[in-house]
Amino acid sequence: MAAGPRSEGATVGPVVAGPPVAKSLPMSDNDRPIALVTGASRGVGAGIARALGEAGAVVYVTGRSTRAAPRSDGLTGTIEETAEAVTAAGGEGIALACDHHDEAAAQAQMRRIAGERHRLDVLVNNAWGGYERNTGDGSFAAPFQGLPTHFWADMFEGALKPAFLTTRHALPLMTTPRPVDAPPRTIVNVVAWAFGEYLGNLWYDVAKAAAIRMIEGLARETAPADITCVALAPGFVRTERVERALAGDATKLAATESALYAGRAVAALACDPDALERSGKLVTAAELARDYGFTDGDGRQPPPFRFG
């Protein structure tokens, strides 16, 4: 997972022969799936956007880091670079600067998508501002009474609120008529989860649990519209933030998976005509790799994340 606490316990999975992805989404020019991936300047969001590009989708890549503006936390990666990677992978990447904490900005991005594409088939809520004041001083894993109070705003205003705002304004575009023979539309909340283990920071743990519970409620409310709603838990992902934190620790870095692995999980779900059977559930990238037959970029199928 992306730079959460105590993430050193993952193990390396076996090398599995076979295709990197199970199948592709519809490919006609008029019926290409339209996707929005939030927080996709880098990390898991960038991997998901690229994998949707592999499957032929039109992908709106959103975030705050652009070539013309400062990048979050000084990390590498911009929405333009991710959009270019989507196009290079076989899709169509469109960079769209958006601060998902701002409801007016969330509404404006949906107006643009509505004007250009008239619908939205895949929404991935990946934007997560909860790490941005984690300085590595140990305060992130402090006991509840010792947690800096800013973590409340970081986790709920900075991290959970964007998923609610974006989904609220995306739903009208996800209930329009679908192309003929298209699979169900898909909403994914990217979450941190380790088989129910406590995640080491009370506010972080509760916010991630809320993102999962949000999916359970959305699945009930969107069932008449045939929208698959899932919470997706990646493993120990080799994001830019993780690479910076583990610089020089080859052993721990070897236990990571790429962001593309979670991306291929989303792409597989998005093209599954039976995906509604998973709606309302929490799934892991590793579980979907097993079921759909895709691999990470290096041919492995890394296992689900566990604390060591």
Task: Find the distance separating the first CA and the last CA of the chain, reported in whole Å.
Answer: 14
The pLDDT assigned to 155 comes to 81
* 58-63 and 92-97 strand pairing: parallel
Domain count, the chain: 1
What local confidence, expressed as pLDDT, does residue 27 receive?
46
- Residue 143: strand, helix, or coil: coil
What would the two tokens of residue 125 be?
A: 């809520």
User: Which pLDDT band holds residue 260 (cuts at 50, 70, 90)?
Assistant: very high
Q: Where are the beta strands (DSSP E) in 143-216?
A: 185-190
> The domain that contains 70 carries what CATH number?
3.40.50.720
Running DSSP on this structure, what letter comes out for residue 18? S
Give the integer Cα–Cα distance in Å for 170 and 194: 29
Strands 227-233 and 281-284: parallel
Tell me what pLDDT residue 133 has: 58
The alpha carbon of 251 is separated from its chain's Cα centroid by a whole number of angstroms, namely: 26
Per-residue model confidence as pLDDT tens digits over 268-299 = 999 999 999 999 999 999 999 999 999 999 89
Q: What is the DSSP letter of 28?
A: S
What pLDDT was estimated at residue 308? 57
Residue 63: in which H helix or E strand, if any? strand 58-63
Q: Please check whether residue 301 lies inside any domain of the structure.
A: no
Does residue 140 sit within a domain?
Answer: yes
Residue among 199, 109, 120, 198 nearest 162 (CA): 109
More reliable by pLDDT, 86 or 70:
86
Dist CA 57 CA 122 (whole Å): 9
pLDDT above 60: residue 2: no
| Mean pLDDT, the chain, whole residue set | 84
More confident call, 261 vs 159: 261
* pLDDT above 60 (res 12): no
* AA identity, residue 224: P
Please check whether residue 57 is in contact with residue 88, taking contact to mean a CB–CB distance below 8 angstroms. no
Q: Which two tokens stand for residue 209?
A: 């649990």
pLDDT value at residue 246? 67
What is the reported pLDDT for 199?
82
Q: Is residue 97 part of a domain?
A: yes
pLDDT at 29 over 70: no
- Domain of residue 154 covers 34-292
- Residue 11 located in a structural domain: no
CA distances from 230 to 122, 125, 190, 265 (A): 12, 11, 9, 11
Who has greater pLDDT, 176 or 123?
123
Share of the chain above pLDDT 90, in %: 53
- pLDDT single digits (tens) 81-129: 999 999 999 999 999 999 888 899 999 999 999 999 999 999 999 998 6
Residue 58, pLDDT > 50, answer: yes
Residues present in the chain in total = 308
Q: Is residue 23 part of a domain?
A: no
SS3 99: coil
Q: Looking at the domain assignment, is residue 87 inside a domain?
A: yes
Within a domain: 287: yes
155/208 Cα distance (integer angstroms):
9
Task: Return the percentage of the chain with pLDDT > 70, whole number.
Answer: 83
Note the pLDDT of residue 255: 74
**Confidence band, pLDDT 50/70/90 cuts, at residue 70:** low
Runs of H (alpha helix) within 26-142:
43-54, 79-89, 103-117
* Mean pLDDT across 190-196: 85
- The model's pLDDT over 209-246, given as tens digits with 9 standing for 90+, comes to 999 999 999 999 999 999 999 999 998 877 777 767 76
Pure H helices in 191-270: 202-222, 240-245, 250-254, 259-270
Distance CA 192, CA 4 (A): 8
- The answer to whether position 12 is within a domain reads no
